[in-house]
């Protein structure tokens, strides 16, 4: 049962917004959070690839 972060109101599962104060609840629909997790995963992979390329590309000792 998602609890509102602002007024501590217990809301019915599946509600996107608080029934008491109308603020968005932390637990949203499953599809949206899954899509966000997948986008975050791809962001991490891209960042790791970017770091690997930069480490290989930059000449060693340039940071000293
Ligand atoms: Zn609330």
pLDDT (tens place) for every residue of the chain, 64 residues total: 788 989 999 998 888 889 999 998 876 555 566 788 899 999 999 999 999 999 898 876 655 5
Residue among 40, 9, 41 nearest 26 (CA):
9
- φ/ψ of residue 28, rounded to 5: -95, -170
User: What is the CA(14)–ligand 1 centre distance, in A?
Assistant: 15
Which positions ≥6 away from 60 have C-beta within 8 Å? none
User: What is the CA(13)–ligand 1 centre distance, in A?
Assistant: 14
- pLDDT of res. 49: 97
pTM: 0.42
């Amino acid at each position: 049962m998602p609890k509102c972060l602002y007024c501590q109101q217990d809301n019915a599962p599946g509600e996107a917004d608080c029934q008491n104060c109308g603020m968005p609840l932390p637990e949203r629909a499953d599809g949206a959070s899954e899509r966000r997790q997948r986008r975050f995963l791809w962001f991490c992979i891209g960042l790791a690839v970017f770091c690997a390329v930069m480490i290989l590309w930059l000449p060693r000792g340039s940071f000293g």
